[in-house]
Chain A
Amino acid sequence: MPLYLALTSVSALLAVGVYAIVDRRNHDVSRNVYRLCIGLCGVIFLAAVMPRGAHVVSTTLPLGLPWIGMHFRIDVLTAFFLAVVNLGGAAASAYAIGYGAHEKEPMRVLPFYPAFLAGMNLVVLADDAFTFLVAWEFMSLASWALVLTHHHEEENRRAGFVYLLMASFGGFALLMAFGVLGGVGGAYDFASIRESTKAGWTSGLVLALALIGMGSKAGLAPLHIWLPLAHPAAPSHVSALMSGVMTKVAVYGFIRVVFDLLGPPAFWWSVEPMTFGAASALIGVLFATIQSDLKKLLAYSTIENIGVIFIALGLALAFKANGMALPAALAFTAALFHVFNHSLFKSLLFFGAGAVLNASGERSIERLGGLIHAMPKTAFLFLGGCVAIAALPPLNGFVSEWLVFQAILLSPALPQWTVKLLVPAVGVALALSAALGAGCYIRAYGVAFLGRPRSEAARRAHDPDRWSLGAMAVLLTLCLIAGLLPSLLIDTISPVAKDFVGARMPTQAELSWLSIAPIAESRSSYNGLLVFLFILFSAYSARWVIHKFGATRSRRAPAWDCGYIEASPMTQYTGSSFAQPIRRTLGVIAFSVQERLDMPAPGDTRAARLSVDIKDRIFDYLYAPLTRAVESCAERLNVLSLMTIQEYLALVFAALVFLLVLVAI
């Protein structure tokens, strides 16, 4: 029943896309499409959370390849990710009811938006390699079309090109991964893959391919270069979906292949996810810290959060491989908790950035400022999102990070030296990225929303409509609930952990005072609700004492500023000046910076100039040589296109013989 409900809703989503094309002359088409999307996402969300009767529900539809059909299935993991996808989808659609009205070319968004939602749902529901890959490519193409919504801008066209390139590369890696998994026999439904026995080298190869394929979609460094280009190029509600939700679909794919299809793990499987996860966390947050484009900043911070998720997944693999089921469950739960959290606050922040973009026409924080006065409601909601994503208690980002740290603290019991020495290094990277993340959001919020407006547009900005504010408010409320009552969410994730790593965390709802304790209360516990109430109580009692015994008068006056006369708003600290100390001290990890100072000689009246050139090391040392190599190969192979027919036939024959020999061996 839930499966059919979900599948019907997915086909309805596809139909909504068609409706958008048919009814394109109607003024209300945009509203109608988004309303329908909310409804359908809501239905799929219900289908995911409703009791399923059986533990696993599956079906085969006579579509796609003849004799094979398309397999679909809902198990606990699918249900969890369906809930995440559709929660994000419904929020984005609600936001878009207001936001989408400002779209100049709605026909470049409306048909593809429901298709994109449907594609993400299908990936999660798929139960054979064929369906999975078709849905995966469908999702990629739909999102690519959405990235090209504002195709008049040169920058967006480039983003679309890079995205398409990386998506096809990732899709190719996945094709190979499933090819190896399916084996020579070609059993491509997941049930047969799960039961087949895999040789040692196969699992290593599949792991690497899955990491490339899923990682390139999730934005794992060094495959992340498309993400900060493509995510911000799309309209903001689509950016929210791509960053908050589509990256989670890629995480789902990784979990499905590595934790489920590949069978029992070996300890060295954990090395790759942890290493690349740690690299992503650091690179992502450092680049986020120096961005002045608000949406790019959020996109880079997605890379950081994906890194955190992969670190937790790597830890879960290491524990699972060594038969330490309980720590594995802790790390796995931490990963899924962070998946849920990130989908909430990243969507919220992208919505906020969209509202700012709409109200002021500015994406660069350097020309904003003082928005807390001009858009008070958005400013409050955005602040909530910043606190959540900066992993500060009492909101939810802290809880998942705390769980990851607790998992790291259990690692000395691991027997292998490789993992043993890797984990503390990963721990430093995680701690650094958490601290830098907080600094990054102080900068983003402080420069854009606080201080004095740096432009007329920022002064004139105003809050968005009720739908947009409502979507943000709902997401912030969910962040608060997940932060104050994490036990609810942990107990929801526990069945997934039970199925995929073989154990579950102790039932948290049984603990007193709604606190959470991953292993035992004597080892570690945290109670978000109590901490929150404590803070409120202390703040209010301080306020009460002051108002009872102290002075309550206050007076407005010009800023003191050490006695300097109020200067122009342009003298405020800018985003780049804020980031300069961090760039100088820690930037070397991720990028190379060249500062050039052009100081005129004494007597010369021209202005001095400081120019800063920041280069992405990964782009320079990995992608640039790769591009050159591909180009020179293409240049050399060009002769092949000028051959005669006989030469062609000879070439085909030679290739055929070579391949046959290969198969024979």
Chain B
Amino acid sequence: MTLLFNLMAQSLQMLLVLALAPLLIGFVRKLKARLLRRTGPPIIQPWLDLIRLLRKEVVLADNASWLYRAAPYLIFAMIWVAASLVPTFATGLTFSWSADLIAIIALLGSARFFLALAGMDIGTSFGGIGSSREAMFGSLAEPAMMMIVFTVSFVAGTTQLSEIAAYMAGNLELRASVGMALVALLIVAIAENGRIPVDNPATHLELTMVHEAMVLEYSGRYLALIELASALKLLLYLSLIACVFFPVGLASHDAGVEAMMIGLCAYILKLAIGGGALALFETSTAKMRIFRVPDFLGAGLMLGLLATLLVFVTRSL
């Protein structure tokens, strides 16, 4: 019975993240439009777009190989699995121990690997430009992320996300190192999701684009999968920030239905706040030059390193 309940909670989480991810994108878009005094499309528009894309035929470039056709499924599967392993409304779900925080980041790295390869498969210069820049961002964002993991797990004494969330919920106190890690994580999250000021998710024909350049040749169901995957990635980062730094309302896996409902409401509230903050931030800044991005990400890396060193120093005093 317990096992069944646990499995249900786990599957619920998998479906929940899948359902919420496009809505989050729609919410951010709507808010951005309202901030610019436009009406904007309805919040469910991304879902409608996805369904439309699924029904369209795929136009494959002549040169596309099997890797190009397999990559969307792989990318989607990897990001979906990663997103389902981050605690959203409850901690310690059945499969949460199958990958810790480092493994989740590495899964995102795998998805990036295949996306960048898919960008190069057709043999156009746009794909190459996107992949090359993605590789550069990744080689700075991933170490920064690792430094954040170091800080958080030095503080909590574990790399299991559920345990980290439980520790953070139990020890609510202000720490300079954790604050620095939070800022670093925000920087990484913006870069990893290709949001302004690093990349503009709304552009389609601009020489500074990164993510859109890699997926330029995709169409139909493949494009739908990739769009869904990138929506899931944004949701994943927001869930990660919420569960590590604001673990308020998170239910434990054996806490019963009522606590889980509270957790769910808290989670959706947190997502709304996160999405709102993102929309506000995006409307108030401009995109930066491509070679300024390493400085931006380097700041994230240095903050992460400082936070790590700070934990080291304060721990032993």
Contacts of A432 in B (CB 8 A): 139, 143
Q: Cα distance A589–B110 when bound, in Å?
A: 26
Complex interface residues of chain A between 378 and 424 (CB less than 8 A to chain B): 383, 387, 390-393, 398, 402, 405-406, 408-409, 412, 420-421, 424
- Check A555 against B136 for contact (C-beta < 8 Å): no
- Check A412 against B311 for contact (C-beta < 8 Å): yes
Q: Cα distance A373–B64 when bound, in Å?
A: 9
- Check B116 against A442 for contact (C-beta < 8 Å): yes
Contacts of B54 in A (CB 8 A): 546, 549-551
Q: Which chain B residue shows the least CB distance to A369? A: B123
- Check B312 against A573 for contact (C-beta < 8 Å): no
Complex interface residues of chain B between 110 and 162 (CB less than 8 A to chain A): 110, 112-113, 116-117, 119-129, 131-133, 135-136, 138-143, 146-147, 150, 153-154, 157-160
- Of the A-B pairs whose beta carbons lie under 8 Å apart in the complex, a sample of 11, sorted by A's number, is A427-B150, A428-B143, A435-B142, A527-B97, A535-B81, A551-B54, A551-B57, A555-B57, A557-B61, A558-B61, A578-B128
Q: Cα distance A584–B292 when bound, in Å?
A: 12
Interface check B187, CB cutoff 8 A: no
Interface check A159, CB cutoff 8 A: no
Q: Cα distance A550–B72 when bound, in Å?
A: 15
Contacts of B120 in A (CB 8 A): 442, 446-447, 450-451, 573
Complex interface residues of chain A between 545 and 600 (CB less than 8 A to chain B): 546, 549-551, 553-562, 564, 567, 569, 571-573, 577-582, 584-586
Interface size class of B (residues with CB under 8 A): 35 or more
Contacts of A372 in B (CB 8 A): 65-67, 121
- Check A556 against B316 for contact (C-beta < 8 Å): no
Min distance, Cβ B302 to any Cβ of chain A, angstroms: 10
Q: Cα distance A561–B61 when bound, in Å?
A: 10
Q: Which chain A residue shows the least CB distance to B95? A: A530
Q: Which residue among B126, B160, B221 has the maximum number of chain A CB atoms within 10 Å of its CB? A: B221
Q: Cα distance A398–B305 when bound, in Å?
A: 22
Contacts of A536 in B (CB 8 A): 77
10 shortest interchain CB distances as A-B pairs: A573-B128, A451-B123, A446-B120, A550-B54, A439-B135, A435-B142, A431-B146, A538-B77, A452-B123, A554-B58
Interface check A477, CB cutoff 8 A: no
Q: B168-209 toward A: CB 8 Å interface, digit per residue (1/0)?
A: 000000000000000000000000000000000000010000
- Check B124 against A393 for contact (C-beta < 8 Å): no
Contacts of A434 in B (CB 8 A): 142-143, 146
Q: Cα distance A22–B213 when bound, in Å?
A: 61
- Check B117 against A442 for contact (C-beta < 8 Å): yes
Q: Cα distance A537–B10 when bound, in Å?
A: 14
A412 and B315 in contact, given A439-B136, A551-B220, A562-B205 (Cβ under 8 angstroms)? yes
Complex interface residues of chain A between 432 and 476 (CB less than 8 A to chain B): 432, 434-436, 438-439, 441-443, 445-447, 450-452
Complex interface residues of chain A between 273 and 313 (CB less than 8 A to chain B): none
Min distance, Cβ A458 to any Cβ of chain B, angstroms: 12
- Check B113 against A405 for contact (C-beta < 8 Å): no
- Check A435 against B103 for contact (C-beta < 8 Å): no
- Check A584 against B147 for contact (C-beta < 8 Å): no
A555 and B309 in contact, given A393-B107, A427-B146, A524-B160 (Cβ under 8 angstroms)? no
Interface size class of A (residues with CB under 8 A): 35 or more
- Check A523 against B98 for contact (C-beta < 8 Å): no
Interface check B106, CB cutoff 8 A: yes
Interface check A59, CB cutoff 8 A: no
Q: Cα distance A555–B143 when bound, in Å?
A: 41
Q: Cα distance A573–B133 when bound, in Å?
A: 12
Min distance, Cβ B152 to any Cβ of chain A, angstroms: 10
Contacts of A451 in B (CB 8 A): 63, 120-123, 128
Q: Cα distance A270–B127 when bound, in Å?
A: 44
Min distance, Cβ A390 to any Cβ of chain B, angstroms: 6
Interface check A543, CB cutoff 8 A: yes
Interface check A534, CB cutoff 8 A: yes
Q: Which chain B residue shows the least CB distance to A530? A: B98
Interface check B43, CB cutoff 8 A: no
- Check A543 against B122 for contact (C-beta < 8 Å): no
**Residue in contact with B61 in the complex, picked from A435, A559, A564, CB distance below 8 Å:** A559
- Check B102 against A402 for contact (C-beta < 8 Å): yes
**Residue in contact with A523 in the complex, picked from B121, B159, B301, CB distance below 8 Å:** B159
Contacts of A534 in B (CB 8 A): 77, 81, 95, 98
Contacts of A530 in B (CB 8 A): 95, 98
Interface check B225, CB cutoff 8 A: yes
Interface check B55, CB cutoff 8 A: yes
A526 and B308 in contact, given A373-B65, A450-B65 (Cβ under 8 angstroms)? no
- Check A554 against B59 for contact (C-beta < 8 Å): yes
Contacts of B316 in A (CB 8 A): 412, 420
Min distance, Cβ B150 to any Cβ of chain A, angstroms: 6
- Check B312 against A412 for contact (C-beta < 8 Å): yes
Q: Which chain B residue shows the least CB distance to A529? A: B98
- Check B125 against A571 for contact (C-beta < 8 Å): yes
A535 and B100 in contact, given A450-B123, A573-B127 (Cβ under 8 angstroms)? no
Min distance, Cβ B122 to any Cβ of chain A, angstroms: 5
**Residue in contact with A387 in the complex, picked from B59, B110, B143, B290, CB distance below 8 Å:** B110
A546 and B142 in contact, given A387-B110, A446-B116 (Cβ under 8 angstroms)? no
Contacts of A526 in B (CB 8 A): 98-100, 102-103
Q: Which chain B residue shows the least CB distance to A573? A: B128
Q: Cα distance A370–B158 when bound, in Å?
A: 44
A562 and B126 in contact, given A424-B150, A549-B54 (Cβ under 8 angstroms)? yes
Q: Which chain B residue shows the least CB distance to A285? A: B139
Interface check B89, CB cutoff 8 A: no
Min distance, Cβ A138 to any Cβ of chain B, angstroms: 41
- Check B117 against A446 for contact (C-beta < 8 Å): yes
